[in-house]
Structure 1
């Protein structure tokens, strides 16, 4: 749905000047459709159920009115109190909410206090911060329940706003019992609520009955993904080994430009792909759910800042069997299902190295790019076994976009036979990555992150050059390096691509025969060479 000319702008929503200045500093010219509809409703003290696609601005749609309401109440309050609680299913999403909140309160940071309980802070320090009753608390259900049981948080008389972000994940990640305990025992009888979700699953509807009262449901009539004029979908038919060869070729010939996220279905495949690319000096980082949350947050922030161009991520949520709790497979801290929720910025390309296992996963992966007014591409490698799922995705997208009358996922005109020499190099590098190498790489990265602890933060601030040590995309050096693989020989580059700027080529060296030293030639002195006899390295065949 396109916004009409008579749509509301931020300055027409009766927002505080400090909020408007923060919004202007963020470069937000006008509110998104969900922000335009949700902000006035929340300011009008309505319970809301917000359902909108990834990247539509749902988080800010809730945070802006919360900040406004706190600023309004500050003029009459005589004591500090906690007014809002925001729960997210993972630490990474909590950090993301904390970052948006920091940006929106930059002009009123001395007035509005908030705390992220998932930050790497000792419990005693968090207890001290909570004793000061911050205006907003951000946490996972498990973390905030722990503090509530210790009586570090008491909001039965002060809470005004209760928000569940990514509500559809809260149940699927196993937080049902914690949420029930919080709602029944630690919240006041009346408060305003908001459920925010990318999908309206059965779990979300169950939460709606428990949390919301006379709620307004905002299910905007907009496509799940940006229009095809903004987001282009491609596919390439290829088997496992061919996928690696094509990916290597696309990067080395600069046929893919801009920041990329490469999705696979397993963490092991993440490291196999990284070790494969390392051999060609193509730098990429792995976003691994096994790493500490602060390491993952640092990696995402550095990627958003532009320090890295390629992230390899797994969408492990699709691997959970129906009816099986995701929490039983991973720890509470895990942010598996990277296709959901995480705020990757300015992503130009999403590459499905492994095609997603369901339609929703494809939607969420594709939603990482073409956010805001930016354009993006989704390139999917599809094997024979994956074609049925691609057809299901194609059918779903066609029904959403064009009522089933047009092909959405276009075939990428890539001919591997034109770059056959790349295939030989890629196959050798792919088979060089063994299971033991993958295991060693995963262990090595975990050990490295332990060394890169917060205790070293001061040292790196004083020695910025040493910061290169903790680059997340540094080669793992598990596979024996071959220097020649980083360069592309001139003779294997297709003629049509030889003029592309950026391709580092190396011309073939011609054979130069070596002269044999002739001891009978007395004129040779000081190890001089005589060219009267040439050794070509081969013995002549006797006839």
Structure 2
């Protein structure tokens, strides 16, 4: 049945006409592979265990049958009292907001019949209680938030729940939510339909499957773990030193050889701030996604990036949950053992981080042309989740990984795991002549010296201070304690990173000879929509967005006498 449905449109699936209208408004012409297989089975009322890669349309695969089932229940029993009949569990607050927004888009033409509420839109549980008391049809939230409301009696599911969805189920476990899920299941009825979707399968999911699913159907669309080479180009650069990493990045960004917007992934939050401050030395506006700030602040940063206020966002995949007292009290549960606990133990430095933080996967960064792994991902799965932020849908994308000698072993594991059928690595060496950018090295060193450890520490404290000053919760406190407000406002950093204006511009004599006419050095201006530069733009023709490899103009080969480096076509 799934194979037959894959070539058909949404209109042949038996979905409610109002949902089909919303699908048409969203521009979904045909179902994706996961949607073609999962939607008909879910409409039959079957429990599903579905796997599909990031960006393949999993939200639509469970969202459409979920909304259709609720509409059918209401039409069949108009006198049925209002109640929460669908629950969607997500691993992070950012993903919760995204899922809530997607479900509201799909139910845009039946808002009178269905109401969707995501508990991640507000961080204050007290503000969420009145919304839950109105009994929305669908609730989206992390297991911790949902469990808090179930324990506080502002949410009841035992006699009303019809459908349970676990989105990014493997992350729910790796984030340490296993104990929360086990406790949450005690508040659910004995019979309900369950859909478990994930980008990867691992042994820990088997325990969750036994608890949640009843005689499930396994949905595994025939697709690679990442898009093919025609859509996603993956490169690697093996750098000799840490300074070489920063030098390559400066050349890519300051010479404007990287077109479009990019995500830069690093190993931890301190390095994220160091990289952000380093880029600011060259007048390159970038933002760091700070896991120490509340979810609302992080979502605001993501929204600014999606609106084009920043071209570059620096993020980490530090996904270790904080050990809350409630979670510690439930440590004896079998489902909470293993990966989640190990991460919490290993990441002792992340105590101040939001337990619902997670960036490598789930968040819908829009129009991302490239992902740069400034630090090699710790695992193959982490690489897949990072790189999955680009080449989404039918859009092309590029991934570039920078590796130090001590990171080569991890990079080799990733290459072996993602090797093609003939054993060929998908991460092609990105060959260029380092001598060509040696003229930029002293500027790179100058910027690196300015970004001290103390400057990084004070930049992190400044973000937290600004968050306190803008907090609505502390508004009353500051009114009663004006001295504290005065001290906080005038608490200036003692050792900030000193920005040197001369680094913003690249003189012509520093541009490598082989890149003259290709590079676009100069300060970045954020006025109006971004125009992608390319050869067609220089001929007076508009450059097609996303049709070229963002790194193509920086690929070199050796030709001619004396090893002259020239651009390859």
Coarse TM-score class (shorter-chain normalised): 0.7 to 0.9
Which residue in the other structure is 1:174 paired with?
176
Which residue in the other structure is 1:108 paired with?
110
**Superposition deviation, residue 477 in structure 1:** 9.9
Judged with a 3 Å threshold, the aligned counterparts in structure 2 of structure 1 residues 287 and 392 are, in CA distance, closer, same or farther, namely same
Query: Contact 1:98–1:116 (CA<8 Å) still a contact in 2?
Result: yes
Which residue in the other structure is 2:194 paired with?
193
Match of 2:417 among 383, 396, 399: 396
Query: Contact 1:48–1:193 (CA<8 Å) still a contact in 2?
Result: yes
Which residue in the other structure is 1:378 paired with?
399
**Within 5 Å, which residues of 2 pair with 1:229-308?**
229-238=230-239, 239-308=241-310
SS in 2 for 1:53: coil
SS in 2 for 1:85: strand
Which residue in the other structure is 1:43 paired with?
43
Judged with a 3 Å threshold, the aligned counterparts in structure 2 of structure 1 residues 477 and 45 are, in CA distance, closer, same or farther, namely farther
Please state if 1:326 is matched with 2:343.
yes
Which residue in the other structure is 1:13 paired with?
13
**Superposition deviation, residue 119 in structure 1:** 2.3
Q: Deviations over 1:113-146 (max 9, x none)?
A: 1211222264444222222211011111111112
Match of 1:354 among 375, 386, 394: 375
Which residue in the other structure is 1:339 paired with?
360
Please give the alpha-carbon distance, in whole angstroms, between the structure 2 residues aligned to 1:164 and 1:319.
Answer: 18
Q: Any gaps of 5 or more consecutive residues in structure 1?
A: 458-475, 506-543
Please give the alpha-carbon distance, in whole angstroms, between the structure 2 residues aligned to 1:206 and 1:414.
Answer: 48
Judged with a 3 Å threshold, the aligned counterparts in structure 2 of structure 1 residues 147 and 318 are, in CA distance, closer, same or farther, namely closer
Please give the alpha-carbon distance, in whole angstroms, between the structure 1 residues aligned to 2:155 and 2:407.
Answer: 49
Please state if 1:206 is matched with 2:213.
no
Match of 1:494 among 499, 508, 512: 512
**Superposition deviation, residue 77 in structure 1:** 2.8
Which residue in the other structure is 2:561 paired with?
none
* TM-score normalised by L of structure 2: 0.80
Which residue in the other structure is 1:368 paired with?
389
Judged with a 3 Å threshold, the aligned counterparts in structure 2 of structure 1 residues 418 and 3 are, in CA distance, closer, same or farther, namely farther
Please give the alpha-carbon distance, in whole angstroms, between the structure 2 residues aligned to 1:49 and 1:173.
Answer: 20
Match of 2:458 among 426, 429, 440: 440
**Within 5 Å, which residues of 2 pair with 1:38-117?**
38-75=38-75, 76-78=77-79, 79-117=81-119
Which residue in the other structure is 1:27 paired with?
27
SS in 2 for 1:303: helix
Which residue in the other structure is 2:498 paired with?
480
Query: Contact 1:233–1:410 (CA<8 Å) still a contact in 2?
Result: yes
Please give the alpha-carbon distance, in whole angstroms, between the structure 2 residues aligned to 1:477 and 1:10.
Answer: 59
**Superposition deviation, residue 54 in structure 1:** 1.0
**Superposition deviation, residue 445 in structure 1:** 1.2
Whose radius of gyration is greater, 1 or 2?
1
Query: Contact 1:173–1:325 (CA<8 Å) still a contact in 2?
Result: no
**Superposition deviation, residue 3 in structure 1:** 8.3
Please give the alpha-carbon distance, in whole angstroms, between the structure 2 residues aligned to 1:57 and 1:110.
Answer: 26
Q: Any gaps of 5 or more consecutive residues in structure 2?
A: 323-337, 476-493, 524-569
Query: Contact 2:48–2:218 (CA<8 Å) still a contact in 1?
Result: yes
Q: Deviations over 1:259-298 (max 9, x none)?
A: 1000110110001111111110011110111111001111
Please give the alpha-carbon distance, in whole angstroms, between the structure 2 residues aligned to 1:169 and 1:193.
Answer: 17
Match of 1:415 among 412, 433, 450: 433
Q: Deviations over 1:86-111 (max 9, x none)?
A: 11122111111111112112222222
Count of residue correspondences: 482
Judged with a 3 Å threshold, the aligned counterparts in structure 2 of structure 1 residues 323 and 99 are, in CA distance, closer, same or farther, namely closer
Query: Contact 1:3–1:33 (CA<8 Å) still a contact in 2?
Result: no
SS in 1 for 2:7: coil
Which residue in the other structure is 2:446 paired with?
428
Judged with a 3 Å threshold, the aligned counterparts in structure 2 of structure 1 residues 323 and 297 are, in CA distance, closer, same or farther, namely closer
* TM-score normalised by L of structure 1: 0.84
Please give the alpha-carbon distance, in whole angstroms, between the structure 1 residues aligned to 2:396 and 2:510.
Answer: 32
Query: Contact 2:39–2:61 (CA<8 Å) still a contact in 1?
Result: yes
**Superposition deviation, residue 327 in structure 1:** 4.5
Query: Contact 1:174–1:325 (CA<8 Å) still a contact in 2?
Result: no
Query: Contact 2:173–2:339 (CA<8 Å) still a contact in 1?
Result: no
**Superposition deviation, residue 52 in structure 1:** 1.1
Q: Deviations over 1:30-78 (max 9, x none)?
A: 1110011111111110000111111111112111111111111222231
**Superposition deviation, residue 219 in structure 1:** 2.1
Query: Contact 2:175–2:321 (CA<8 Å) still a contact in 1?
Result: no
Query: Contact 1:116–1:139 (CA<8 Å) still a contact in 2?
Result: yes
SS in 2 for 1:488: coil
SS in 2 for 1:373: coil
